[in-house]
Amino acid sequence: MRVATDRPLVVGVSGYGGSGKSTLARVLTAALPGSVRLRGDDFLDPSRSHRRSPDWDGVDRLRLVEEVLDPLRSGRGGAFRRYDWGRRALGGPERLPETDLLVVDLIELLHPETRPWIDLAVWCDVDLETASARGMARDARLGRDHDALWRDVWIPNERDFDAGFAPRASADVLLPDAPGSTNT
């Protein structure tokens, strides 16, 4: 996809946890020379993402817009801060990447606060039960015991977010069972 524009294009990849977002984002950036991937995990707040919330407020969408999407689309330079999971705090400022195509993969990315900043929204169209089972299996393989979080927080948050914001309906592309999604 090549469109004449004076600003970078932003592709947003979203879907339920375990649906294949990260895998798809890696495949896209590997296939599209010059593209840059921004990991959604860099914009999570674990203190908030581990609690019930009808709009998944553990996703720091405002910081994503203010530090990345707005400056990038406006053609301004700038810096953003990734969440440092080792320190459990925001990391130091990093220069915004220079690119014609930014790929962002993040749960609950298709939200009214972020959707206007996304040129092409892709929804990894895997049902919640399947995606959650994959996410739980992935976490177990990585030695993370998140079963209670999946059951008591994340799956209910996904349902609430669906009911409130209908992210699938706001996607430009529905991608059934993203490639390699069993290894998200």
Residue that wins the pLDDT comparison between 16 and 177:
16
Model pLDDT for residues 19-70, shown as the tens digit of each residue: 999 999 999 999 999 999 999 889 998 888 889 998 888 899 999 999 999 9
Beta strand residue intervals within 85-119, DSSP E: 89-95, 101-105
Q: What is the average pLDDT across 149-173?
A: 96
Q: Domain-by-domain residue ranges, the chain?
A: 9-183
CATH superfamily of 9-183: P-loop containing nucleotide triphosphate hydrolases (3.40.50.300)
Measured distance CA(79)–CA(74) in Å, rounded: 14
Residue 181 pLDDT greater than 60, yes or no: no
Looking at the DSSP bridge assignments, the partners of residue 83 are 90
Closest CA to 32 of 97, 109, 103, 106: 103
Number of H helices and E strands in the chain, helices first, is 7, 7
Measured distance CA(51)–CA(49) in Å, rounded: 6
Measured distance CA(46)–CA(90) in Å, rounded: 11
Model pLDDT for residues 62-118, shown as the tens digit of each residue: 999 999 999 998 888 889 999 998 898 999 999 999 899 999 999 999 999 999 999
**What is the reported pLDDT for 180?**
52
Beta strand residue intervals within 31-96, DSSP E: 36-39, 79-84, 89-95
